[in-house]
Amino acid sequence: MGDEIGFDDLGPLKVIHVHEPSVGLKAILVVDNVATGPSIGGLRMAEDVSAAECARLARAMTMKNAAAGLPHGGGKSVMFGDPKMPRDAKEARIRAFACSLRYEHGYIFGPDLGTDEGCMAWVNDEIGRAVGLPREFGGIPLDQIGATAWGLTHAVEVALEYCDFSLDGARVVIQGFGAVGMHAARFLGERGAVLVGASDSRGAVYDEAGLGVAELIALKTAGKSVIDSPAGEKRERDAAIDMECEIWIPAARPDVIDARNVRRLNAKLVAQGANIPVTREAEDYLHKHNVLCIPDFIANAGGVICGAMEFHGATEGAAMNAVAEKITRNTREVLESARRDGKTPRAAALELATRRVRRAMDNRRWSLF
């Protein structure tokens, strides 16, 4: 991918490069679109980030926030550097970056790869504009309570109205048994589904009679792998793709299903917990073969909905209710429109989000700022 930023009539509104040599800070903010409200998006820290990646992620947030019906636009920030650098150095950079953006009221920081709630506490301390804060500062620990998986579970429940099986006894396979994956296994299990396969970066485990969700969660919480479980057959990591099931949940990495391996999937419903886990080509293939795919930015919006609710001072309970309500409504709207117009759920979701952004833009004096 080149490092060109694509501009179109939706954005980006602003691209800001920040440099402060005294602390080794090099970072970029892209505010894509603020028509629906100040943008919310994560701060990603990695050695190989780029302006183009930042812009792409900022647009994805515009779509996700609009689709979720939040009063927030899309933005994203990236910081160059190893996220595992000494704490003092990381803190100095993050505090400096936050200060450099203190007047950028159109951007609210959130955690992303390489940053966590502690980093958001530093940002909040400097400029008072961050979500995903520790509990002491009114934060809602979304990974601990499984906000994204809670949303995903509601998306699955709606999608079942468009499938020929019920949740009771449905076999589930989860690729990536992490914060999203393990809570999804828990919530779906509570509703009668059976986890038959799970994987993480070290390998996969399978049991057609069902795996013990609580045991696997205990292993992962203790820093171990799903393959350390005494139960189930151990398989290599990517074998999770071939495991026969009704519901397949990618909750690990981008682009794990592509044109080359999509034929291996043996599922009826793919609920996308990860961001862009299925390439467009593979999604089109699944659509043609009657495998329903709930697009990532509809199914996994629980985290950002929870963050937005936190920003507006909501309690944990109110935030979880908002996640359930918004994702249920949006999934139904998207799947209904996809069925009615014979298009893919992703095409329907993009149309829905774009329509909301354009409607908001129509009410503004300037289209972007």
Tokens found for residue 247: 């519901």
Is residue 228 packed enough to be buried (19+ CB in 10 Å), middle (13-18) or exposed (0-12)?
middle
Indicate the residue among 32 and 296 with the shorter CB distance to ligand NAD: 296
User: How far is CA 69 from each of CA 130, 154, 257, 298, 303, rounded to the nearest angstrom?
Assistant: 20, 16, 28, 11, 14
Taking CB under 6 A as the rule, which mask of x and - marks residues 266-285 in contact with ligand NAD? Answer: -------xxx----------
Taking the complex as a whole, the smallest distance from the CB of residue 254 to ligand NAD amounts, in Å, to 7
Listed in sequence order, the DSSP H helices in 129-265 are: 142-145, 147-159, 179-190, 213-221
Tokens found for residue 354: 């774009």
Considering only residues 43 through 102, tell me which ones interact with ligand NAD, judged by CB under 6 A.
none
- Which residue is nearest to ligand NAD, using beta carbons? 178
Taking CB under 6 A as the rule, which mask of x and - marks residues 206-245 in contact with ligand NAD? Answer: -------------------------------x--------
Indicate the residue among 150 and 285 with the shorter CB distance to ligand NAD: 150
Beta bridge partners of 108: 40
Say whether residue 117 binds ligand NAD (CB under 6 A). no
Taking the complex as a whole, the smallest distance from the CB of residue 323 to ligand NAD amounts, in Å, to 10
Grouping H, G, I as helix, E, B as strand and the rest as coil, residue 10 is: coil
Q: CA 282, CA 288: separation in Å to the nearest integer?
A: 10
Say whether residue 148 binds ligand NAD (CB under 6 A). yes
Say whether residue 155 binds ligand NAD (CB under 6 A). no
Say whether residue 131 binds ligand NAD (CB under 6 A). no
Q: Please identify which residue in 61, 179, 249, 319 interacts with ligand NAD, judged by CB under 6 A.
A: 179
Q: CA 344, CA 309: separation in Å to the nearest integer?
A: 30
Q: CA 337, CA 180: separation in Å to the nearest integer?
A: 27
Task: Give exposure, 88-103, as e/b (b: 16+ Cβ within 10 Å).
Answer: eebbbbbbbbbebbee
Say whether residue 177 binds ligand NAD (CB under 6 A). yes
Taking the complex as a whole, the smallest distance from the CB of residue 208 to ligand NAD amounts, in Å, to 20
Largest CA distance in the chain: 63
Q: Please identify which residue in 43, 251, 269, 322 interacts with ligand NAD, judged by CB under 6 A.
A: 251
Residue 343 a catalytic site member: no
Taking the complex as a whole, the smallest distance from the CB of residue 183 to ligand NAD amounts, in Å, to 8
Q: Which residues are catalytic?
A: 76
- Binding footprint of ligand NAD on the chain (CB under 6 A): 142-143, 148, 175-181, 199-201, 237, 251-253, 273-275, 300, 303
